[in-house]
Structure 1
């Protein structure tokens, strides 16, 4: 689908609290998802799509979540936005990585790039929550020509370790990965539905009952003979992956991003770095950014599932602002 190129515009530094003024187009519309499959060579990525039009938007979910994570935001998106919410490898309905393939954001970035190339998306808005935002930060810095604008929900800077700690942390990672690889070969645990909902809420520390059930609709499947549910995710993906870059490395990645940026931070969300590191990361993001917005609002890490309307409103306002930037760029390219 043809997309308008982004051209340089004066950086706008906006760091504001969420306001209660509602977007004029806020409307929870009735719609249905379209299930999609994307063959990327070694396997198939699956997801769900809605809407049509020239504006493309890709949603990337958080660690151990799935494409259902944006179910409560999607109804507010404009009809002229083609929105795809994608399951990462080893999550939701997507195929698992082949044996011995390591799960971490770099592998996810490669999978997303292959998926976008396959469907012919060469310009799109990227929306990520948690791990999806980590993947989005890397993707946007590595493939800036692909991303018109980037939206992050409750991630500014991931955990990082000093280089002298890499060996110890990598050993911890690989030992856990190999242990989970053995466990993944064993029969899956079967859960009672209410037990699994409770475990999902407790494990996340940020989901409510509604959000947990939304994620489990895609993250678990029923086994009739066992009269229960099993999780669909690859157990190998459960290894805690964060920390493969130093703080200095993340700063340089942030500096490489120049497209419009929106950060939505939960006031009771997760914090992966010190206040000084987060301040430095935000400063790096703002350095050459065409348009910058930062919002803080009440809620925990999954605030897009527990407080979807204000999150959707922030996103709609940002898209409107970016449209004027993109239109200016399109006019400049004609002239």
Structure 2
């Protein structure tokens, strides 16, 4: 259950990340105007969060939470990111919200999977289910970005009784492949996995702070400097001598999870989700191996049985919740209000 991680907090607080970390007193970030009426500034200060750790048997998932409202919202970050990913969105959530942002296994401050355990969204979804059971959350809104949204699709389909509503940020579906490609894809994945496993057994790479910020921006192809610093504040730590930074994530997670399901399989998962659903698509976001036409088929499948379906496009690249947080926050808040009405009335709405 919630509790401070004093030693680890001290270690991470040594990483100063420009205006993000310096906002602890009373500073705010200016944000662009939005077609959705929202405050002109978003406060995002480290002291507003409380650290959370959840024992799930094989290890501990860690994250952070804020708010004390009755409506529960769980945030799941994307591939190679961490629980800081929603730092610019969380402060604008409604006052009746309790928001928990988790580090998935192998990311941020959460424990790594045991040696030999394969990282992919199915393993993450199982870890999240165990965490929510241990934490005592029986029904909640699920907010996921990228890989976190892939986990969300699996979770909402497998455990519909848990998910009050689902919000997907820049994921309609991930990579998919036909069965005749599975053998070669499995080989490619395992080759990458074992290579990274070997690298993880060696001393970690050490970076200068500005070097790591630059590498994070370039590697993501969608983060700006502010977003990169926000993620690195939780995703890296100073070396013992204080002269450099090392990343905390498990190197094994860099073996990008393969398309473990066919296109038709993702269509069926989309059709199985009946809870209110909001999809926010970045105008310059990823399409993976799909076309706009095949994506439209998946969107129609999501809409088929959802009690309240909404699809919005947001200007920007993959990390729109960090680079265009004002608009994203406005859409999320509108959806939370409208989906609550839909749940109360039992009506089907398409926005």
Taking structure 2 as the reference length, what is the TM-score of the superposition?
A: 0.86
* Separation of aligned partners in 2, 1:24 and 1:156: 26
Q: 1:303 aligns with which of 320, 327, 337?
A: 320
**Cα-to-partner distance string for 1:184-218 (whole Å, 9 max, x where unaligned):** 01000000000000000000000000000000000
Contact 1:27 1:75 in 2 (8 A): no
Q: 1:323 aligns with which of 329, 340, 347?
A: 340
Match of 2:149 in 1: 133
Contact 2:104 2:110 in 1 (8 A): yes
* Separation of aligned partners in 1, 2:36 and 2:241: 49
Match of 1:92 in 2: 108
CA RMSD of aligned residues (A): 1.5
Contact 1:48 1:85 in 2 (8 A): yes
* Separation of aligned partners in 1, 2:38 and 2:224: 28
* Separation of aligned partners in 2, 1:220 and 1:142: 33
* Separation of aligned partners in 1, 2:241 and 2:44: 35
Match of 1:282 in 2: 299
Gap runs ≥5 in structure 1: 1-18, 330-335
Contact 1:222 1:230 in 2 (8 A): yes
Q: How far is 1:24 from its partner?
A: 6.2
Partner SS, residue 128 of structure 1: strand
Match of 1:163 in 2: 179
* Separation of aligned partners in 2, 1:22 and 1:315: 10
**Cα-to-partner distance string for 1:267-300 (whole Å, 9 max, x where unaligned):** 0111112223211111110111101100012110
Match of 1:250 in 2: 266
Distance 1:54 1:226, change over 3 A: closer
Partner SS, residue 261 of structure 2: coil
Gap runs ≥5 in structure 2: 1-32, 347-351
1:267 aligns with 2:321: no
Higher relative contact order (CA 8 A, sep 6+): 1
Match of 1:4 in 2: none
Match of 1:45 in 2: 61
* Separation of aligned partners in 2, 1:108 and 1:28: 30
Runs (4+) of structure 1 moved beyond 4 Å? 24-27
Q: How far is 1:242 from its partner?
A: 3.2
* Separation of aligned partners in 2, 1:78 and 1:317: 10
Partner SS, residue 42 of structure 2: coil
Aligned residues between the structures? 311
Partner SS, residue 135 of structure 1: helix
Q: 1:108 aligns with which of 103, 117, 124?
A: 124
**Cα-to-partner distance string for 1:220-252 (whole Å, 9 max, x where unaligned):** 000032610000000001101030001011111
1:235 aligns with 2:251: yes
Taking structure 1 as the reference length, what is the TM-score of the superposition?
A: 0.90
Match of 2:16 in 1: none
